[in-house]
Amino acid sequence: MQRTLAIIKPDAVQRRLIGKIISRFEEKGLEIIGLKMTVIPNDLAKKNYSVHEGKDYFEKLVRFMTSGPVVVLVLRGKNAIGVVRKLMGSTSGHEADPGTIRGDYAISGRFNLIHGSDSVESAEREIPIFFDDSSIIESEKSDLKWIYDMSDDLTGENLI
């Protein structure tokens, strides 16, 4: 099972979209295994978005991400990284497809509501920026056998 980091950005929190966004992840079948509300300090925002350092929008991106409270999540599920990216939609709200979070609720290119790790390497790098191991809670959810076909593998290693 894959893990990914998602951040409900300051614009989404101010626009009272936390519940709607979390519902999309839950309804899809992803498990929330880490969750917190925080105001991201400057150094952590820079670290999370370090691949964008040097881009002309970097300072504004960091200012935006540190401008108010965010909700940070660790989500778990089959192909969680790709699934979350699909649920988010493409980067700019005005280009994102209807049915996606950005496509339904955003129109800006920067105020785009949600961050999601874009690769296994990014997820492995980003999760420890916000969560230590003890604050990730991997309890077995009782509905898992109805979310996945686990008839061939009750260990949950090979979910279908």
Active site residue 52: no
User: Which of the 8 DSSP states describes residue 134?
Assistant: G
CB nearer ligand ATP, residue 92 or residue 159: 92
Residue 100 near residue 85 (C-beta atoms within 8 A): no
Tokens of 71: 């909700």
CB nearer Mg ion, residue 44 or residue 144: 44
| Site residue total, Mg ion (CB under 5 A) | 1
| The pairing of beta strand 70-77 with beta strand 114-116 | unpaired
Residue 84 near residue 118 (C-beta atoms within 8 A): no
CB nearer ligand ATP, residue 95 or residue 149: 95
**Residue 91 assigned to a binding site:** yes
**Residue 105 assigned to a binding site:** no
Residue 156: CB minimum distance to ligand ATP, A: 28
Q: CA dihedral in degrees (34, 36, 41, 46; nearest 10)?
A: 40
Which residues carry a binding-site annotation for ATP?
9, 57, 85, 91, 102, 112
What are the binding residues? 9, 57, 85, 91, 102, 112
Residues forming the active site: 115
